[in-house]
């Protein structure tokens, strides 16, 4: 049944829209159903989900195995306090142990990626005391709590700082951002300066406990690092006695190919944080996973952390079937077949549209960086514009939505991260709509004679 404007207006009037001025939350699209890679509004209009909602429904919509497990748990034991052992916790733990890197086998379950990172902070600052500082990166997002926002490099942190809503002891490192190298260098002659500078920071800062990094940044750019970056970062952390934490909230769960993005570089961190895909976002679960060495420390020392919804049985019920469904899907070979096809189609868009400065990514995790001038790499919008003015990327995404394609956008990039179940034909459907929507930006570019927009060296697929 279609919803009237009055019904939608009532929702907007009495609820807050997230991450926006509320004038932008007047007529949200009312979704009544979703299945596979599509969602449907109350007028039965179909939208192809090209960003897996918030980069979280990796297995698509209405996966029956996960839904059935949640329903059975609701009927059996919807809640019990975290001081008790229970079947959902047992099954989730057993399933996760089958996909974790060797040596990472102690779990703390919360209810979001934000809380997973907050738990990591609590663990690190107790384990590493008196060292307490955390190094993050400028192009990062690690959550909306005090800790998560403190770690975050994107413009949302600026508002938190203005409200005195951040922690002390967090500093930011340059990104592995080859398209816009912060050192003005080019790979491979750069000597991976973005990693080497971390060594300089650790030695100069002192009291550094850990480095927190998204292997491939989620919201903030999907920059795929050079192949030497993570092995060098691991060595730098080891040499300086610093823990390495990888935030796999978005990049985990086969989003980049293997279960964990960091496995692309054969590196094992000391702590992994994740959420989203571990339940296909059907229930809210956050997961903080530590090495056995860290776990052994808390045999005698108290872990001062917990909350009412930690180890929640109804939420945990979705973990084991999600792990099983990922294994089943990857065994079919479909994601491995479609990911290079998606790459090729995005590179074709890059060749056709001068507004695309850089198409980059890996697996089913891609960015189209939108620029005003391809030659100079001038952006249409900057970090400072986010939340303050109309953005070109938002305009492109809005036009795509009108045409039947849902896609997340940030201040300078479009986020292409479809469910892993997407087919080549469905990729074509999305690319055709995106091809039309990009014309909005093409009309306002500074035209150059630069053919293509390929980076000098690329580390994802197909280039």
458 has pLDDT over 60: no
DSSP state, 297?
H
Supply the pLDDT for residue 447.
80
pLDDT tier, 1 (very low <50, low <70, confident <90, very high otherwise) = low
CA distance 438 to 424: 21
Which one has a higher pLDDT value, 2 or 266?
266
CA distance 151 to 147: 6
- Tokens standing for residue 426: 């469905």
pLDDT in tens, 357-400: 999 999 999 999 999 999 999 999 887 777 777 889 999 999 99
pLDDT tier, 411 (very low <50, low <70, confident <90, very high otherwise) = confident
456 has pLDDT over 50: no
Q: Are 89 and 311 in contact (CB under 8 A)?
A: yes
CA distance 252 to 278: 8
- Tokens standing for residue 195: 């990693």
Query: For residue 229, what are the contacts with CB-CB under 8 A and spacing of at least 6?
Result: 176, 192, 194, 195, 265
What backbone phi and psi angles, to 5 degrees, belong to 212?
-110, 125
Q: Which residue has the tokens 């939608």?
A: 8
pLDDT in tens, 279-322: 999 999 999 999 999 999 999 999 989 999 999 999 999 999 99
pLDDT in tens, 115-171: 999 999 999 999 999 999 999 999 988 888 888 878 787 877 777 777 667 788 999
- Tokens standing for residue 432: 């055709």
CA distance 263 to 216: 11
- Tokens standing for residue 442: 């093409």
pLDDT tier, 461 (very low <50, low <70, confident <90, very high otherwise) = low
The neighbour count for residue 268, using CB atoms within 10 Å, is: 17
Measure the N-to-C terminal CA separation of the chain; round to a whole number of Å.
47
- Domains in the chain (CATH in brackets) are 5-62+332-442 (3.90.1150.10), 64-328 (3.40.640.10)
pLDDT in tens, 94-106: 999 999 999 999 9
Q: Are 287 and 136 in contact (CB under 8 A)?
A: no
Per DSSP, helices labelled H in 48-111 are 52-55, 64-76, 87-97
Closest CA to 134 of 268, 16, 270, 37: 270
Q: Are 156 and 237 in contact (CB under 8 A)?
A: no
Q: Mean of the pLDDT values across residues 426-451?
A: 90
pLDDT tier, 452 (very low <50, low <70, confident <90, very high otherwise) = low
Q: Is 337 exposed, middle or buried (0-12, 13-18, 19+ CB in 10 A)?
A: exposed
Does residue 49 sit in helix, strand or coil?
A: strand
pLDDT in tens, 206-231: 999 999 999 999 988 999 999 999 99
**Interior angle at CA 287, CA 284 and CA 289, nearest 5:** 175
Q: Tell me the sheet residues that pair with 107.
A: 289
| Neighbouring C-alpha atoms within 13 Å toward the C-beta of 420 | 31
């Amino acid at each position: 049944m279609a919803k009237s404007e009055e019904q939608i207006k009532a929702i907007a009037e009495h609820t807050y829209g997230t991450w926006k001025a509320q004038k932008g939350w007047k007529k949200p699209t009312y979704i009544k159903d979703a299945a596979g890679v599509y969602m449907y509004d109350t007028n039965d209009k179909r939208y192809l989900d090209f960003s897996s909602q918030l980069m979280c429904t990796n297995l698509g919509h209405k996966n029956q195995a996960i839904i059935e497990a949640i329903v059975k748990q609701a009927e059996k034991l919807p809640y019990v306090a975290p001081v008790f052992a229970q079947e959902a916790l047992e099954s989730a733990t057993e399933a996760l142990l089958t996909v974790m890197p060797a040596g990472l086998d102690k779990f703390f379950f919360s209810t979001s990626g934000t809380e997973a990172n907050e738990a990591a902070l609590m663990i690190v600052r107790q384990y590493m005391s008196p060292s307490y500082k955390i190094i993050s990166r400028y192009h990062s997002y690690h959550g909306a709590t005090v800790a998560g926002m403190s770690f975050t490099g994107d413009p949302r942190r600026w508002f938190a700082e203005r409200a005195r809503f951040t922690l002390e002891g967090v500093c930011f490192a340059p990104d592995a951002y080859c398209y816009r190298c912060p050192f003005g260098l080019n790979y491979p002659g750069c000597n991976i300066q973005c990693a080497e500078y971390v060594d300089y920071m650790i030695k100069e800062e002192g009291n550094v406990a850990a480095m927190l990094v998204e292997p491939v940044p989620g919201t903030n750019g999907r920059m795929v690092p050079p192949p030497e970056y993570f092995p060098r970062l691991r060595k730098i952390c080891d040499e300086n006695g610093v823990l390495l934490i990888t935030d796999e909230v978005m990049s985990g769960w086969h989003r980049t190919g293997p279960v964990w993005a960091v496995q692309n570089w054969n590196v094992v961190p000391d702590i992994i944080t994740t959420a989203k895909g571990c339940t296909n976002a059907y229930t809210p679960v956050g997961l903080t996973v530590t090495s056995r060495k860290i776990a052994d420390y808390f045999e005698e020392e108290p872990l001062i952390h917990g909350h009412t919804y930690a180890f929640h049985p109804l939420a945990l019920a979705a973990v084991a079937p999600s792990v099983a469904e990922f294994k089943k899907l990857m065994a079919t070979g479909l994601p491995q077949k479609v990911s290079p096809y998606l790459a090729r189609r995005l590179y074709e868009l890059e060749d056709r549209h001068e507004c695309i400065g850089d198409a980059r990514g890996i697996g089913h995790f891609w960015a189209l960086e939108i620029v005003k001038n391809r030659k100079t790499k001038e952006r249409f919008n900057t970090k400072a514009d986010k939340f303050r003015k109309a953005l070109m990327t938002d305009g492109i995404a809005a036009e795509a939505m009108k045409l039947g394609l849902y896609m997340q956008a940030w201040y300078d990039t479009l986020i292409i991260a479809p469910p892993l179940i997407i087919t080549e034909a469905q990729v074509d459907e999305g690319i055709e709509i995106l091809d039309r929507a990009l014309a909005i930006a093409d009309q306002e570019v500074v035209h150059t004679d630069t053919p293509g927009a390929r980076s000098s060296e690329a580390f994802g697929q197909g280039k």
